[in-house]
Chain A
Amino acid sequence: MTAATGMSERCRYWLSLAALAVVLPLAIVVNSWDSLSEWRRSEFRTPIAVERGTTQAYAGAQWQLTGLTRLPGATPETTLIVAEFDAAVDDPALLQAGPCAVVLTDDKGRRWLPVFLPGRTVRQGRPAAADKPRCYGLARAEKGKTITMAETFTVPEGATGLALSITIGGARPAYLVFR
């Protein structure tokens, strides 16, 4: 064994060891890239603020908040919020590309999900909204049609700065915020 081959062997050994430190983390990143980007896509990241009374293009439709009604809840400390909104359909395929999710948020960052059944209070206090479909109404989207929807939330009496967020799976991470 000559000194030259000894050197190159030692050199290769350290080079391989150093390469391991780079390649191993790289392999982990490459392996989890799909999951990471999927997770980032599913986040609510890019808000599109919509002013009261204006329409906004989003996920193949023109969206508008038509009503945000407060009704007394089952107990004195609760309030029902009935949110009514329209979507004028331009592109049904885009609109149906993913599930629709609606969330009511307040200025403290708390998030309320819609209730499953609006119940008697909504039927009496806001009969027009009680018969509107929930967000799943988009399943019947056709080009040129306007779909009216309503969602009900149970929030504390003192909640302030309420905003309605709507997101369609195919258009995430962008989402609409109605204030």
Chain B
Amino acid sequence: MSAVLKGLGGLALAAAVLYGMQRTTPGYGEITAPRPVAGKLGHRLEGRAFAIDIAKVQLARTVATKGAARDSNFTTSGVWVLVEGTAEARTESLTLLSAEWLGANGVRYAMSQRLSSLPGMLPGQRLEPGLPMPVLMAFEIPEGQVAGGTLLIARSAWAPLAEQARVDMAGAKPADIRSGLVLARGQGRVPWTVSAE
């Protein structure tokens, strides 16, 4: 009798262990997830492959471009987020192709493609070791996603185990949304200027 009980107990234990292991097995996405490096707005974030310093974030309902191919006015049903900073490769030349705005509720927004041809845009800047480069990023996000946002920057949108800079954008507040910003071609080191309309 006790042998039968023992057998049943063992079976139940094995089933419980197997169930537990099945539920806690990390998915492929989790195993190969990017390695996050955390930083803050206004502070230089040093990763292993690259360093990035997000200096300024500005919000607007419309963005006007001047001095590019032709002057245009870009409206959006959400909010324009213009992020300015400096980026540098640390050991080997690279290009940072992916920047995403992670909203407070976990939704991620890729960079807006509408301004992607402007000078200084992050994916267009080749970063060299020892040479900090000014970089610009533009996002279109719903107003509700401005507060508590995080900027995610990586070499590519999906690279297993690659480094991902996570910059806390606590400085961005819905109260700071302007009616319009002008993005013009800059003279000198920074190839653009941002000014209020």
Say whether B129 contacts A110, CB under 8 Å.
yes
Q: A75-B189, A115-B126 are in contact. Are A110 and B91 (CB under 8 A)?
A: yes
Residues 83-114 of A, flagged 1 when their CB comes within 8 A of B and 0 if not, give 00000000000000000000100000111110
**Complex: chain B residue closest to A158, CB-CB:** B130
Overall SS of chain A's interface:
loop
Interface assignment of A137: CB less than 8 Å from any CB of chain B: no
> Does the CB pair A113–B189 fall under 8 Å?
no
Q: Quote the shortest CB–CB distance from B101 to chain A (angstroms).
A: 29
Query: Min CB distance, B35 to chain A, in Å?
Result: 19
Kindly provide the distance from the CB of B30 to the nearest chain A CB, expressed in whole angstroms: 21
CB-based contact B92/A111 at 8 Å: yes
Q: Please name all residues of chain B whose beta carbon is closer than 8 Å to the beta carbon of A115 when the two chains form the complex.
A: 126
Within 8 A of B (CB), among A152-177: 154-156, 158-159
Interface mask (A1-20 → B, CB under 8 Å = 1, otherwise 0): 00000000000000000000
Are the C-beta atoms of B91 and A111 separated by less than 8 Å?
Answer: yes
Within the complex, what minimum Cβ distance (angstroms) separates B31 from chain A?
16
Whether A38 sits at the interface, judged by CB under 8 Å, is no
Q: Does B128 count as interface, using CB distance less than 8 angstroms?
A: yes
Q: Which of B90, B128, B189 contacts A112 (CB 8 A)?
A: B128
B80 CB to nearest chain A CB (Å): 29
Residue from A75, A77, A112, A116 within 8 A of B129 (CB atoms): A112
- Residues of chain B within 8 A (CB-CB) of A116 are 126
| Bound CA–CA A110/B91 (angstroms) | 5
**B75 interfacial contact with A, CB 8 Å:** no
A106 to chain B, nearest CB (A): 8
Are B126 and A110 in contact, CB atoms less than 8 angstroms apart? no
Q: Which residues of B contact A (CB under 8 A)?
A: 90-93, 126, 128-131, 189
For the complex of A and B, the 10 pairs showing the least CB-CB separation, nearest first, are A156-B130, A110-B129, A113-B93, A111-B92, A154-B128, A112-B93, A156-B131, A75-B189, A112-B128, A78-B131
> 7 A-B residue contacts at CB 8 Å?
A75-B189, A110-B90, A111-B129, A155-B128, A156-B128, A156-B129, A159-B130
Known: A111-B93, A159-B130. 19 other contacts (CB 8 A): A77-B131, A103-B92, A109-B91, A110-B92, A110-B130, A111-B92, A112-B92, A112-B93, A112-B128, A112-B129, A113-B92, A113-B93, A115-B126, A116-B126, A154-B128, A155-B128, A156-B128, A156-B129, A156-B131
